[in-house]
Structure 1
């Protein structure tokens, strides 16, 4: 395989990965929007918030990996956002907050930037 061909495979893989990340974030946003509209059971609340928490935990772990190709400053900034998302999801789950809109907005911003 030539370097050019390898480069196009890597580029395609990155594009596909971003697509999967967008899909995962969209699913989380859909779940959060249902919570915002008040159409949920307690089980839905817990499952939705745990989904968002797990998703961001995966993102944080990937960003913290030394072989992640993003610039270090960008990785650190996104990790900070991710830690906030995880904490806010926990606050909502523990009923110490009821503002789902902030989580929706930050997830939209990140998804749309991919």
Structure 2
């Protein structure tokens, strides 16, 4: 995908009758984008990396904002965990973006978090 919003739009075509599956699919897509960049790392990857990081950050921004809503039905502890993960994602993303020559292994944790959360969402769905 060339643009994060296009990837999100494509993912949103999934029937939203199961929001957990939708959330899992966009996390899986983000992890896949980051993994492809990690696997094919070159100095020319910067634009693609920026797009993938932006897409991932937008996903986590939506998750954090949703969890912060008072009406959200999740238990407080889970909402706090989502917020903590989002803060970590934002910090790691900023660290990668601030580095003039980021190292590909900095993506590993972002990929792992997305995959683990997606796996949990698929199981509970």
Shorter-chain TM range is: 0.7 to 0.9
Q: Deviations over 1:25-79 (max 9, x none)?
A: 0110011101211166221010000100111000000000001110001110111
Consecutive aligned runs of 4 or more in structure 1 exceeding 2 Å deviation: none
Q: How does 1:23-42 map to 2 (within 5 A)?
A: 23-37=25-39, 38=41, 41-42=45-46
Structure 2: give runs of 5+ residues left out of the alignment.
1-14
Instruction: Return the TM-score normalized by structure 1.
Output: 0.81
Match of 2:70, SS state, is coil
* Pairwise CA RMSD: 2.0
Paired residue for 1:57? 61
Match of 2:18, SS state, is helix
Instruction: Return the TM-score normalized by structure 2.
Output: 0.74
Q: How many residues align?
A: 102
Paired residue for 2:88? 84
Aligned-partner Cα distance in 2 for 1:42–1:14: 33
Aligned-partner Cα distance in 2 for 1:86–1:27: 18
Aligned-partner Cα distance in 1 for 2:16–2:36: 30
Aligned-partner Cα distance in 2 for 1:43–1:51: 12
Cα drift, residue 22 of structure 1 = 0.7
